[in-house]
C-alpha cells in the first residue's frame, strides 16, 4: 500500500469520524452558564433562548446562574471548563468586552479563551430616574446634573457591566459628573432606584416596563438607535441632541478548543431556535431583537466592543481594580 493511499485512507477515516461526532452531538444535556442573577435581562433572554435550543437540538439546555464580579465569575467558569461542547456561556458586553478593560486582573482573555458561537439578541437600554428627580427630559436631566456636579448618582448591576458603562458613556457624552453606585445585579440596582437610594439608572426596557407603568420609576429616553415599539412615545437619547447610542447585546461563546463540529452545530441550532414562532413572540413582547450571526461576525463584534469600551474607560478615568 502506497504512502499516498495510506494518507488518503487516513483522511477519509478522519472525515467519517468528524461527521459521526457532529451527528451524535449533543448526546447529553448542555449547561448554559448565565453570568447574572435570576430574573434580570441576561437571565430572561438566556432562558428564552435555551427553551428554543432545547427544541431544535433535541437535548435539554440547562441554565446555571453564576452571578458576581460583573459577570466574570460565570465567564471564568466557562473559560476553564472542558472544551467538549457541553458547557457554554450566555455572554454579554459586561464580562466579554467591558470588564477586561476595567479590571486588569480579569481571570481570562476574551479573544484567547473563548470560541464565539453566535450573537443571539440585542435590546435597548432605557434611561430611568426616580419620580422625585425634577427632570422629565434628557436636556433637563443634563442641566440638573451640571448644576449639581458630583451630587447625583446612578445605579448599575456592578462595575464593568453594560448598565454601568451606559451611565459612564452618558457622563462622557453629556459632560456631567453623575456618580456610579454599583449593586450586585440589575434587580438590586433598580430596587435601589425605586426606593430613592439613587437618582437614575440605565436598565433593560423590558425588565423595567412593569415599574414604569406602576409609576415607581420614570422613563426619560431609550438609548438605542431608534424608538422602541414597547414605548413609541419615548424619545431616544440621541433625539435630545446627544451623540449617544448604547444597546445591550447577548451571545453564546464556548471554551476555546471546543471542536469545530460542536461550534457549527450549536450555531446552526441557535439560529433555528431564534426563528421559532414561540421564541420570536417572546422576544417581540420584550422589545428584544433576535440576531443570529456567524461565529466570525460575532468575533468581529466582540473585537469592536473591546476597542469601544477601552476608549470610554480611558475617557471616564475609570481605574482598574
Do 142 and 176 contact (CB within 8 A), yes or no? yes
In tens, the pLDDT along 24-51 reads: 899 999 999 999 888 878 899 999 999 9
SS3 per-residue string spanning 247-288:
EEEEEEEEECCCCHHHHHHHHHHHHHHHCCHHHHHHHHHCCC
SS3 per-residue string spanning 127-138:
EEECCCCCCCCH
Rg (CA), the chain: 21
pLDDT at site 70 = 80
Please give the C-alpha separations between residue 166 and each of 76, 97, 158, 200, 282, in angstroms, as whole numbers.
23, 13, 12, 12, 25
Instruction: Count CA atoms within 13 Å of residue 170 on its CB side.
Output: 35
d(CA 169, CA 191): 22
Residue for grid cell 441557535 = 270
Model confidence at 52, in pLDDT bands (50, 70, 90)? very high
In tens, the pLDDT along 79-131 reads: 999 999 999 999 999 899 998 998 889 999 999 999 999 999 988 899 999 99
The DSSP annotation for 15-71 comes to HHHHHHHHHH--SS-EEEEE-S-TTSHHHHHHHHHHHHHHHHHSS-EEEEE---GGG
CB-based contacts of 124, cutoff 8 Å, min separation 6:
204, 205, 222, 223, 224, 228, 247, 248, 287
Q: With 50 as the cut, is the pLDDT of residue 15 above it?
A: no
Is 30-122+247-316 in CATH node 3.40.50.2000?
A: no
Residue 96's nearest CA partner among 65, 72, 120 is 72
Q: 241 or 46: whose pLDDT is higher?
A: 46
Burial of residue 143 (CB within 10 Å: 0-12, 13-18, 19+) is middle
Listed by start position, the domains of the chain span 30-122+247-316, 124-240
Domain 30-122+247-316 identical in fold to domain 124-240: yes
Among 3.40.190.10, 3.50.50.60, 3.40.640.10, 3.40.50.300, name the CATH number for the domain at 124-240: 3.40.190.10
pLDDT at site 19 = 47
- The DSSP code for 238 is G
Do 110 and 53 contact (CB within 8 A), yes or no? no
Q: 224 or 129: whose pLDDT is higher?
A: 129
3-state secondary structure of 231: coil
Model confidence at 18, in pLDDT bands (50, 70, 90)? very low
* Number of other residues whose CB lies within 10 A of the CB of residue 276: 17
> For the chain, what percentages of helix, strand and coil (3-state, to nearest 5) are there?
50, 20, 30
pLDDT at site 16 = 46
Amino acid at each position: 500500500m502506497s504512502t499516498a493511499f495510506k494518507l488518503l485512507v487516513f483522511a477519509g477515516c478522519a472525515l467519517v469520524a468528524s461527521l459521526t461526532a457532529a451527528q451524535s452531538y449533543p448526546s447529553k444535556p448542555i449547561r448554559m452558564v448565565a453570568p447574572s442573577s435570576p430574573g434580570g435581562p441576561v437571565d430572561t433572554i438566556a432562558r428564552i433562548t435555551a427553551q428554543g435550543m432545547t427544541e431544535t437540538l433535541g437535548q435539554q439546555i440547562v441554565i446555571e446562574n453564576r452571578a458576581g464580579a460583573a459577570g466574570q465569575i460565570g465567564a471564568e467558569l466557562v473559560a476553564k471548563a472542558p472544551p467538549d461542547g457541553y458547557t457554554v456561556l450566555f455572554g454579554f458586553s459586561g464580562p466579554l468586552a467591558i470588564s477586561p478593560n476595567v479590571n486588569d486582573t480579569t481571570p481570562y482573555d476574551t479573544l484567547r479563551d473563548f470560541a464565539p458561537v453566535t450573537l443571539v439578541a440585542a435590546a435597548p437600554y432605557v434611561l430611568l430616574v426616580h419620580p422625585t428627580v425634577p427632570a422629565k427630559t434628557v436636556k433637563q436631566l443634563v442641566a440638573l446634573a451640571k448644576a449639581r456636579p458630583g451630587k447625583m448618582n446612578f445605579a448599575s448591576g456592578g462595575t464593568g457591566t453594560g448598565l454601568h458603562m451606559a451611565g459612564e458613556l452618558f457622563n462622557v457624552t453629556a459632560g456631567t459628573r453623575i456618580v456610579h453606585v454599583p449593586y450586585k445585579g440589575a434587580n438590586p440596582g433598580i430596587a435601589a432606584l425605586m426606593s430613592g437610594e439613587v437618582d437614575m439608572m440605565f436598565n433593560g426596557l423590558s425588565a423595567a416596563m412593569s415599574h414604569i407603568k406602576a409609576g415607581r420609576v420614570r422613563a426619560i429616553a431609550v438609548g438605542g438607535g431608534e424608538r422602541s415599539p414597547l414605548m413609541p412615545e419615548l424619545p431616544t437619547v440621541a433625539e435630545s441632541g446627544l451623540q449617544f447610542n448604547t444597546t445591550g447585546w447577548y451571545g453564546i461563546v464556548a471554551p476555546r478548543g471546543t471542536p469545530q463540529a460542536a461550534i457549527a452545530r450549536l450555531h446552526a441550532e441557535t439560529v433555528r431556535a431564534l426563528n421559532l414562532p414561540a421564541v420570536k413572540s417572546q422576544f417581540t413582547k420584550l422589545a428584544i431583537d433576535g440576531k443570529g450571526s456567524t461565529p466570525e461576525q460575532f468575533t468581529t463584534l466582540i473585537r469592536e466592543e473591546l476597542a469601544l469600551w477601552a476608549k470610554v474607560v480611558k475617557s471616564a478615568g475609570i481605574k482598574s481594580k
